[in-house]
Amino acid sequence: MPVSILFAGLVLAWLFGAVDYLSFETLRENRDILQNFVADNPVLSVATFMAGYAIAVALSLPVGSILTIVGGFLFGAWLGTGYVVIAATIGATVVYLAARYAFYDLMRAKAGSAIRKMEAGFAENAFSYLMVLRLVPLFPFWLVNLVPALLGVKFRSFVVGTAVGIIPGTFVYVSIGDGLGALFDQGKTPDLGIIFEPRILTPIIGLAVLAMIPVAYKKFRNRNSGANTR
């Protein structure tokens, strides 16, 4: 049943052009309507945004960046970051659970021996590896939702690693949204490639390196203990 719902939702989203409808031009044209709705209906607007975001992530629709910017545009940098992180984590968890319980045998069979080789090392340091995958903006979000389920990552590690790991990148895009009104006033649109600029990417990579320190320490300790027993 959950698989059928996910598939049906994905098909409907594409049929009705939900992906194409989300654009900066749409935001520009409906700017006042959206902001007035948020001001008049704060609880409903937050619930609607978070539900829509979670569904988009669960269906793996390619609208994550612009929806994150919309979060900043509607709710500001700090609240927007919180709403996006919670909604994205919920959506990612749906994919994780579907992969783990509905598609597990099928996807493991297709992946073959490659998954089995990765499983032991990944599971031992699941949180650190997941943090790196979430922090570095090189891996598709939907893929990082699927792979941990196939590698046996525990539910708690997945949820916490996802929520914490996506905060820096989320804050960057939400901050863009927070300043979107000023860009619209100047007749400009934001540069989505800003996260790959050295001033933004370098600190994020630094956090990823920090996340790998426990893994490096374990390997160093195991190597030394192995040498001492010889």
**DSSP string for 9-77:** HHHHHHHTTHHHH-SHHHHHHTHHHHHHHHHH-HHHHHHHHHHHHHHHHHTT-S-HHHHHHHHHHHH-H
Q: Is the pLDDT at 169 greater than 50, yes or no?
A: yes
What CA–CA distance (Å, rounded) separates 20 from 1?
Answer: 28
Bigger pLDDT: 60 vs 118 = 60
Q: Judge whether residue 135 has pLDDT over 50.
A: yes
Residue 184 has what pLDDT? 82
d(CA 57, CA 194) in angstroms, rounded, equals 22
CB 115 within 8 A of CB 150: yes
CB 39 within 8 A of CB 33: no
Asked whether the beta carbons of 172 and 135 are under 8 A apart, the reply is no
pLDDT at residue 113 greater than cutoff 80:
no
Euclidean distance between CA atoms 55 and 125, whole angstroms: 29
Query: How much is the pLDDT for 28?
Result: 86
Proportion of the chain above pLDDT 70, given as a percent: 74
pTM: 0.81
Q: How far is CA 18 from CA 12, 117, 151, in A?
A: 9, 39, 32
Rg of the chain, C-alpha, whole Å: 20
d(CA 218, CA 188): 49
Place of tokens 């027993």: 229
Q: What's the token pair of residue 44?
A: 């409903």
**Looking at per-residue confidence, does 219 or 65 come out higher?**
65
Give the whole-number percent of the chain exceeding pLDDT 90. Answer: 28
Chain-centroid distance of CA 208 in Å reads: 15
Average pLDDT, the chain: 80
- The residue-averaged pLDDT of 105-120 equals 63
